[in-house]
């Protein structure tokens, strides 16, 4: 069986400036329940890639899970803006729902 988390870590080590490798690592970290490390990986990914919303949604959710509510709201707002720029109306609604739920 392939250890996907180890494979993604190795890929990021070989290609540290590859934002999609970092996004893949973040997803594997989320699956494994490594929330703090996933938040770091998503933050690095988002700083270097014009994400259309999906990465922002994952980032906002993991920040909220970590109790970083203000940061989660900020990420959700940025994600909503990105989703809107790319015409992803359904995702804009997801962000609006999160913001309503989180008291924004």
Q: 33-43: per-residue pLDDT in tens? A: 999 999 999 99
CA terminus-to-terminus distance, the chain: 44
Do 8 and 40 belong together in one domain?
yes
- Give Cα 6 distance to the centre of its chain: 19
pLDDT at 1: 56
Do 40 and 5 belong together in one domain?
yes
Do 61 and 93 belong together in one domain?
yes
Do 26 and 45 belong together in one domain?
yes
Do 42 and 73 belong together in one domain?
no
pLDDT digits (tens, 9 = 90+) for 42-83: 999 999 999 999 999 999 999 999 999 999 999 999 999 999
CB neighbour list of residue 15: distance below 8 Å, 6 or more residues apart:
21
Q: Looking at 31, 49, 67, which one is the last position of a domain? A: 49
pLDDT digits (tens, 9 = 90+) for 83-99: 999 999 999 999 999 99
pLDDT at 104: 75
Contact status, residue 96 vs residue 80, Cβ threshold 8 Å: yes
Count structural domains, the chain. 2
Residue 66's domain comprises 52-104
Full-model pTM: 0.94
């Amino acid at each position: 069986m392939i250890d996907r988390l180890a494979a993604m870590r190795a890929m990021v080590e070989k290609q540290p400036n590859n934002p999609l490798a970092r996004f893949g690592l973040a997803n594997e970290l989320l699956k494994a329940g490594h929330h703090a490390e996933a938040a770091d990986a998503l933050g690095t990914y988002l700083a270097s890639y014009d994400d259309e919303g999906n990465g922002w949604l994952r980032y906002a959710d993991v920040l909220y899970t970590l109790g970083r509510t203000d940061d989660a709201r900020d990420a959700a707002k940025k994600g909503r803006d990105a989703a809107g720029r790319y015409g992803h109306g359904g995702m804009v609604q997801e962000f609006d729902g999160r913001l309503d739920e989180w008291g924004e």
